[in-house]
Chains A and B, each alone.
Chain A
Amino acid sequence: GAGVSQSPSNKVTEKGKDVELRCDPISGHTALYWYRQSLGQGLEFLIYFQGNSAPDKSGLPSDRFSAERTGGSVSTLTIQRTQQEDSAVYLCASSFGGGQEQFFGPGTRLTVL
Chain B
Amino acid sequence: AQSVTQLGSHVSVSEGALVLLRCNYSSSVPPYLFWYVQYPNQGLQLLLKYTSAATLVKGINGFEAEFKKSETSFHLTKPSAHMSDAAEYFCAVSDPGANSKLTFGKGITLSVRP
Contacts and interface: CB of A to CB of B under 8 A. Distances in A.
B99 A104 contact: no
Interface in B98-114: 98-107
Contact of B49 (A4, A101, A104, A106): A101
Contact of B107 (A35, A42, A101): A42
**Chain B facing A: main interface SS:** loop
Interface residues on B, range: 20 to 34
B100 A106 contact: no
Contact of A56 (B51, B99, B102): B99
Nearest to A4: B43
Nearest to A3: B43
A103 B36 CA distance: 10
A75 B36 CA distance: 23
Contact of A105 (B43, B49, B92, B96): B43
Given A33-B101, A99-B96, A107-B43, A43 B107 contact: yes
Contacts of A43: 90, 92, 102, 104, 107
B107 A98 contact: no
A44 B102 CA distance: 8
B96 A91 contact: no
A56 B107 contact: no
Interface string B31-66: 010001000001111100101000000000000000
Most A CB within 10 A of own CB, among B97, B100, B103: B100
Given A43-B90, A45-B103, A106 B97 contact: no
6 contacts: A42-B104, A48-B99, A98-B98, A99-B100, A101-B46, A107-B43
